[in-house]
Structure 1
């Protein structure tokens, strides 16, 4: 028995020296409430930063799961991930972040693309939030968005907003939008769409009541943006968006973040945690940088022309 033990120890030492026993890879688990270009770009930005910092190949286990727009599935995914014990959970968009934070008591959670982290009860404060949670907010300047719409429609009086009242981020965005609109003498007409399949019906309810339609940072609405755009074309009502990715899908214009860059900013937080920093000691960051995207072809299809002042400062013109 003693000889066998010595032999086993010798073989184990040889294996370690030869490198045949690999160190456990860093495990970063990502999850999002739904798949659409903006949220997919966040995920890709996170992974790029990890790879740039040496977490790649056999040294990184990187997984992704979508909740397909269903908060109940987001909760299931969160529980599964906690059982899998990754080094960090990256939760993209408010419903997935809420699900992850509610069940993860020890595993660090980094949220991203969350409009109102405090309102969503993810953190008690943006500065050193404590616990095991930090992240990045994509709170937008909605007054700037209304000003952009007004450049297209100088006599703007009413803007229609389809949104999911079940998404905390969307409720916060609509509240901010109504406050800004009131100061500008603009009425906000709401249309509730709790599910992606409700989006077209909700948007049609706005026809005849508004001069423009605005898609807020709402995962339900953005995932079904083509439905909103179809209504805009059919009713000759221009559709604007809170995110630039939706412009390539047919919205007339948007001032917003580049969500790949937002993902990279999120990735920097993940790297800090992997390097030993406590998530709760890291301030929640606000997304940086804004772009102006315009789509002249879709503007024409919806009965408006892109003003020269907008074209002159556009960072990207969709052909």
Structure 2
């Protein structure tokens, strides 16, 4: 009899364990990833590696860590080639990830295309300049069925930067260097030119097709400009060291689009903290994965604020005469050492 009782108990244990095992990796059995002990699969894609995008990814992951979520990440880098993004995001869909984090405009557009027949996979983006103009969402308050996120351009950032240049470097010819194949860059250049109307500034443009062309394009502007203004173009920023070298050698002020480029040797920017926008995007991921929200229930957001950042060392390297106003107005960043 004792052996029969043991056998019965063993069978009961097997049945109970089997029942527990049928509730999928979401822990609560509803398929929505809301269980406390779940492990989530998140695919992250980025167009190219550079400090701003790296910090956005760090912020995103930190938000999920702070929320106590267990996450397995599949981090993919397109190495500057938009053609690589399609296979990356198609693989995420094939792997049935719980969420895609698209870091940059090309990555977001690719993720949106890859999930057009897989709307159950939410997509969150950041480091996107204009999600509406790029066709990612209809409006800031009308996110897509399965996509939303945080843009990286504060509405006043370019205007404030152009006004800064006009105030402290009046009558300058400003060199604009960008990739015309990148939608976010074209949007920013158009905004720069619009902000420059009515100022004392004039503008000279050069476009590049890959990062190896950046230094040559910068050198081609040396005799035509008084100042460089590099927006948050992923291709140019990935090769910013070459522009910094030209600016330093030729005593040309280098105004940039975000603080990480200031830390790489740019002189000044009215910019945002990419870790912060990545973190906010991570909080959105928590709302979706843990709280059960849908992307179309979360509006696209702007960065919370902008700040004037200045690199004193870069100012000296680029032959810039110091203005006492900057001591009161700016947050100072030192050039990062490798």
- Within-5 A mapping of 1:77-96: 77-96=88-107
More displaced 10-residue stretch of structure 1: 207-216 or 309-318: 309-318
1:282 aligns with 2:310: no
Contact kept? 2:136, 2:144, Cα under 8 Å: no
CA distance in 1, matches of 2:197, 2:94: 47
1:138 aligns with 2:152: yes
Alignment correspondent of 1:225: 240
- Cα shift readout 1:20-73 (whole Å, capped 9, x = no counterpart): x98551122211111111101111101111111111xxx321231111111011
Query: CA offset at residue 231 of structure 1?
Result: 1.0
1:271 aligns with 2:282: no
Contact kept? 2:102, 2:111, Cα under 8 Å: yes
CA distance in 2, matches of 1:195, 1:246: 18
More displaced 10-residue stretch of structure 1: 122-131 or 171-180: 122-131
CA distance in 2, matches of 1:79, 1:119: 24
- Cα shift readout 1:90-121 (whole Å, capped 9, x = no counterpart): 10010111111111131111110100111111
1:191 aligns with 2:191: no
CA distance in 2, matches of 1:217, 1:35: 13
- Cα shift readout 1:184-207 (whole Å, capped 9, x = no counterpart): 132121110121111111111211
CA distance in 1, matches of 2:12, 2:100: 37
- Within-5 A mapping of 1:148-163: 148-153=164-169, 155-163=170-178
Q: Which residue of 302, 306, 309 corresponds with 2:322?
A: 306
1:260 aligns with 2:260: no
- Cα shift readout 1:108-142 (whole Å, capped 9, x = no counterpart): 11110100111111111211323111111112421
Query: CA offset at residue 178 of structure 1?
Result: 0.4
Query: CA offset at residue 14 of structure 1?
Result: 5.0
1:216 aligns with 2:231: yes
Alignment correspondent of 2:257: 242
Alignment correspondent of 2:311: 295
Contact kept? 1:163, 1:218, Cα under 8 Å: yes
Alignment correspondent of 2:109: 98
CA distance in 2, matches of 1:185, 1:226: 29
The structure whose Rg is larger is 2
CA RMSD in angstroms, aligned pairs only: 2.2
Alignment: residue pair count: 310
1:182 aligns with 2:197: yes
1:40 aligns with 2:54: yes
1:121 aligns with 2:135: yes
Classify 1:120/1:9 alpha carbon distance in 2 versus 1 (closer, same or farther; 3 Å). farther
1:13 aligns with 2:31: no
Classify 1:271/1:189 alpha carbon distance in 2 versus 1 (closer, same or farther; 3 Å). same
Contact kept? 1:152, 1:304, Cα under 8 Å: no
- Within-5 A mapping of 1:44-83: 44-55=58-69, 59-83=70-94
Contact kept? 1:159, 1:188, Cα under 8 Å: yes
More displaced 10-residue stretch of structure 1: 73-82 or 238-247: 73-82
Instruction: Give the 3-state SS of the residue equivalent to 1:284 in structure 2.
Output: coil
Structure 2 segments unaligned to the other structure (5+ residues) = 1-6, 28-37
Contact kept? 1:242, 1:254, Cα under 8 Å: yes
Structure 1 segments unaligned to the other structure (5+ residues) = none
